Amino acid sequence: MVDIFPYWIGFLLACIMFGLVGVYYVFRDGLQVTGLSNKVPWGLWISIDLSSIALGGCAFVFGAIIYILQIKRFEAVGKLAVLIGFLGYSSAGLILLMDLGQPFRFWHPIIYWQPHSLLWEITMCVVLYLTVLVAELIPSITEHPIFKDHPLLERYKILRTLANFLQAVGHTIHKFGPLLAIIGMTLSLLHQASLGATYSVLYGRGVWFNQSAPTQFVFSAMSGGISLLFFASVFVFRVMRPGTVKDEILYDVARLAGAITLLLVYLRFWDWAVTNYYSFDKQISLQTQLLDSVAPYSMTFWLGQALLPVIAGVILLNAKKIRSFRILMASAVLPIFATVLTRWSYNFAGLIAGATYDPYTPTVRLYSYTPTWVEFAVGTMVIAYWFLTFSLATRFLPFQNGSEHSEV
């Protein structure tokens, strides 16, 4: 049988090369090569950024499950959750570097503090949490046999010394696993909620910007992130490394994703009722009408964020009865899609139809935004980076359960 892995890696590298062309134009000409404007300052890139952060939400959930609740049978799945979390946050960092008007000043928030800004708080939490994820990932890397049995270690003493040092670092970090899990969960909950709060303070965006946004962002990250973890776990632990994780554990991950998805839909329904039925803000209905005139906004909400997630949640919740990974994986795609759709709606639908700020002539205006090829190129590069790193890591890194250095 032909090994398609090298061809897959070659394809991803080609996508990255294509994206680097877009990076060149952004660095040379600035954001004028994008379709962004002062009226619609966030678009495709920020949607990818928020989606990647949200889909990395499985890391803090399983950090709490393994280290705080002490459910050690999820260790191997927890390692994969850390990998997905790291890829999500590092992808967000790459996309933000392109989205900044001054990309070479990306370090300014770390030095020049603005504690009254939600975006500054989000930036600091993301930077710190990414650091935590790197620390949690180190023990999984140092478990690789290359640090123990590689022939060069016996030939060159300095390499043996360095390998022993790295293994000692990984073992030390493993001892601080519970502390890292608590810190990671705190930072992740803070910035996931703050991302939603960022929109709730924007005046005139009545369709999406409301007080329940922080809670919905947290549960949306948990729903989409755990669903992605289940999908990836089936692929890794049943196709690439069969027998590493028992099927019953994978069923439990699916059930957790299903339960949180159903809870999210419940919260989303009441949010819709408060926003559209109990609200006296006439601008909300005008914004909805404008959005429906240019896109199937209402249909995407009821179909993509209500009906399909309910169906997926029920199926995933009954994973142990269904016991069909094909059906469960297909169902897991729906919460993932709903999470991405939510981020896109907040950044696109929520911005292109907005109320004017003139108190004497309050009207709702429809703005336009079309991503350019540069935006698609950079987005393709970041997504290719995610798949490339995931492919290499799941191919070569150990994910055994119950290892001495196992880490989430």
In a domain, 124, yes or no: no
Q: What is the mean pLDDT of residues 13-28?
A: 95
- Quick check: 354 pLDDT over 70? no
pLDDT reported for residue 106: 85
Max mean pLDDT among 202-216, 259-273, 390-404 falls in: 259-273
Q: Is residue 311 part of a domain?
A: yes
Backbone phi, psi, residue 354, to 5°:
-140, 155
Residue 9: predicted pLDDT: 95
Is pLDDT of 206 > 60? no
Q: Which tens digit of pLDDT belongs to each residue from 296-335?
A: 778 888 898 889 999 999 999 999 999 999 999 999 999 9
pLDDT the model gives residue 80: 94
Token pair belonging to 108: 């300014």
Per the structure, how many domains does the chain have?
Answer: 1
Q: Any idea which residue has 């810190």 for tokens?
A: 183
Joined together, the tokens standing for residue 350 give 């929520």
What's the average model confidence in pLDDT over 277-286? Answer: 64
pLDDT band at 279 (very low <50, low <70, confident <90, very high): low
* Residue 281 pLDDT level (bands cut at 50, 70, 90): low
Return d(Cα 141, Cα 71) in angstroms, integer.
22
d(CA 395, CA 240): 8
Residue pair 89/52 in contact by the 8 Å Cβ criterion: yes
CB 177 within 8 A of CB 79: no
Q: Round to whole Å and give the CA distance between 264 and 252.
A: 18
The C-alpha torsion from 259 through 260 and 266 to 267, rounded to 10°, is: 160
Per-residue pLDDT reduced to its tens digit, 228-252: 999 999 999 988 888 888 999 999 9
Q: Which two tokens stand for residue 106?
A: 């990306």
- When pLDDT is cut at 50, 70 and 90, the band that residue 408 belongs to is very low
* Confidence category of residue 404, pLDDT binned at 50, 70, 90: very low
- What lies within 8 Å, CB to CB, of 239 at 6+ separation is none
The number of residues making up the chain comes to: 408
The whole-number pLDDT of residue 219 equals 94
Structural domain for 223, as ranges? 202-367
Whole-number Å distance between alpha carbons of 275 and 268: 10
In the predicted structure, residue 374 carries a pLDDT above the cut 90: yes
Amino acid at position 57, single letter: G
Give the rounded percent of residues in the chain with a pLDDT score beyond 90: 43
Residues paired with residue 354 on neighbouring β-strands, in sequence order: 365
> Residue type for 230, please?
F
Within-domain flag for 260? yes
| Tokens at 6, concatenated | 């090298």
- Within a domain: 360: yes
Within a domain: residue 290?
yes
**Nearest alpha carbon to residue 229 among 201, 258, 269, 262:** 258
349 or 221, which is more confident = 221
- Answer whether residue 279 is part of any domain: yes
Residue 42 and residue 351 in contact, taking contact as beta carbons nearer than 8 Å: yes
Q: Give domain status of residue 240, yes or no.
A: yes
Select the more confidently predicted residue: 283 or 249: 249
HEC assignment per residue over the chain: CCCCHHHHHHHHHHHHHHHHHHHHHHHHHHHHHCCCCCCCCCCHHHHHHHHHHHHCCHHHHHHHHHHHCCCHHHHHHHHHHHHHHHHHHHHHHHHHHHHCCCHHHCCHHHHCCCCCCHHHHHHHHHHHHHHHHHHHHHHHHHCCHHHCCCHHHHHCHHHHHHHHHHHHHHHHHHHCHHHHHHHHHHHHHHHHHHHHHHHHCCCCCCCCCCCCHHHHHHHHHHHHHHHHHHHHHHHHHHHHCCCCCCHHHHHHHHHHHHHHHHHHHHHHHHHHHHHHCCCCCHHHHHHHHHHHHHCCHHHHHHHHHHHHHHHHHHHHHCHHHHCCHHHHHHHHHHHHHHHHHHHHHHHHHHHHEEECCCCCCCCEEECCCCCCHHHHHHHHHHHHHHHHHHHHHHHHCCCCCCCCCCCC
pTM greater than the 0.85 cutoff:
yes
- Calpha distance 41→369 (Å, rounded): 9
Establish if 23 belongs to a structural domain. Answer: no
pLDDT tens digits, 116-161: 888 888 889 889 999 999 998 988 888 888 888 888 888 888 888 8
Cα 323–Cα 341–Cα 275 angle in degrees, nearest 5: 110
What pLDDT score does 407 carry? 37
Q: Would you state the pLDDT for residue 330?
A: 96
pLDDT at 403: 43
pLDDT, tens digit (0-9, with 9 covering 90-100), for 52-65: 999 999 999 999 99
